[in-house]
Amino acid sequence: MKRKIRGLYVARIFGIPITLDYSWFLIFGLIAWSLSGGYFADLLPGVHGPVHWILGIGAALLLFLSILLHELAHALIARARGIPIRGITLHVFGGVAEMKQEVEDPKSEIKMAAAGPATSVAIGLLFGLLTLLSDSVFLRAMFGYLFYINLLLAAFNLIPGFPLDGGRILRAILWIYTEDMYKATRWASRAGTLIAYLFMAYGFILMLSGFMFGGIWFVFIGFFLMHATESNYKMLMLKRGLTGMKVENLMVRNVNSVSPGMPVHELIDAYILKKRHHSFPVLENGNPIGIVTLHDVKEIPREEWSSKTVRDIMTPLDSDLTICSRCDLSDAFTKAASNGIGRLVVLDETNRFAGYISFRDLETLVTLKLRET
């Protein structure tokens, strides 16, 4: 199925799509450059520059392979516990396994969270063994770096601040103790925020001490962790505010829909510009078959607007883009927040088109409910 992805799809492993976010290319280049011009140049001063670059690029590739295996461990354990995985994305801060739903019990949370660091430790020990067994000074240099960096990766992820792996383990322990997932998340998120501030403070100290690059990196990591903590906690609280309400109470029933045979230029002139909506459900003989968005249109060259139809550019419906009218709004929130489009087609008991609902509508409703309390 077509999905709006910010990045480059590269492979499917164990049925899980692997994507490189565009920021990955930047960090890959920086790591390869710093390793070749710094780490390996200092470690092997008598070697020609091209060899440093070969080692730097090779070590960077193996590092991201290690990160991918770390995220695959999360994903496979999650899938074994009945949690669907949308895919794995490698980005500037490493990687993330995208789950389609939240974990439902603390024991599963612990197993999933611990799988990643455990995998990084195993990979690190493997590279440590290869370092000892290798006769090549070049391979020993590269394997030694990967031994160290994988153990560092495991240690970093075990920091007890949500949403890091250690923070998820902390949340699971608090969840068991309090029997309240929301309270446990709040406490683990506060720990994550505190750790983020400590990272940024340390980064500023490094910058004032003359270690500008390292200081900026720590500030950057702290800012990213703080943003991730706040976003994850906000999403959970928004979902909590919708629990117990039904989709049919919020969905839009009288929806402007389009047919799959409509030319793209007509979609733009008669619907997007005139009705000022950014997405429309696509119906064929009264049956929903997809969703078409302004983003789809932007991907089509203007000269093809007359020859292309809605069917050519729409996203076909699947379980990620549909919700039943009697389903809980919290389930709709989870789907709309993660399906890449932010909208859902609502189906009635006979799987016929019943309405349309958007993530923005859900977010607005929760905001109003929180103001009332």
- Per-residue model confidence (pLDDT) at position 201: 95
Burial of 352 (0-12, 13-18, 19+ CB in 10 A): exposed
CA distance 141 to 46: 14
Please state the φ and ψ torsions of residue 209, each to the nearest 5 degrees.
-90, 0
Q: How much is the CA Rg of the chain, to the nearest whole Å?
A: 24
CA distance 131 to 126: 9
pLDDT in tens, the chain (373 residues): 444 555 688 888 988 889 888 888 888 888 899 898 888 888 888 787 788 999 999 999 999 999 999 999 999 999 998 888 888 888 877 788 888 777 888 998 999 999 999 999 999 999 999 999 999 999 999 999 999 999 999 999 999 988 899 999 999 999 999 988 889 999 999 999 999 999 999 999 999 988 887 788 889 889 988 988 988 887 787 777 777 788 988 888 888 899 999 999 999 988 888 887 888 999 998 889 999 998 888 888 888 888 899 999 999 998 889 999 999 888 888 888 778 888 999 998 888 899 999 888 887 877 776 565 5
CA distance 29 to 25: 6
Instruction: Give the DSSP letter string of 143-207.
Output: HHHHHHHHHHHHHHHTSSSTTSHHHHHHHHHHHHHHS-HHHHHHHHHHHHHHHHHHHHHHHHHHH
- Per-residue model confidence (pLDDT) at position 3: 47
Looking at residue 327, its amino acid is C
CA distance 254 to 258: 13
Looking at residue 175, its amino acid is W
- Per-residue model confidence (pLDDT) at position 1: 40
- Per-residue model confidence (pLDDT) at position 319: 84
CB atoms within 10 A of CB 86: 19
Q: Answer for the pair 252, 275: CB distance below 8 angstroms, yes or no.
A: no
Closest to 283 measured CA to CA, from 258, 250, 251, 315: 258
Q: Answer for the pair 280, 260: CB distance below 8 angstroms, yes or no.
A: no
- Per-residue model confidence (pLDDT) at position 214: 79
Does the pTM surpass 0.75? The reply is: yes
CA distance 57 to 251: 51
Instruction: Give the DSSP letter string of 348-371.
Output: -TTS-EEEEEEHHHHHHHHHHHHH
- As beta bridge partners, residue 292 has 280
Reading the block at residue 352, the tokens are: 């016929």
Which strand ranges, in their side-by-side order, compose the sheet holding 322-324?
A: 322-324, 343-347, 353-358
Distances 88 to 7, 23, 220, 227, 341 between C-alpha atoms, Å: 11, 14, 22, 20, 18
Beta strand 322-324 with 343-347: parallel, antiparallel or unpaired?
parallel
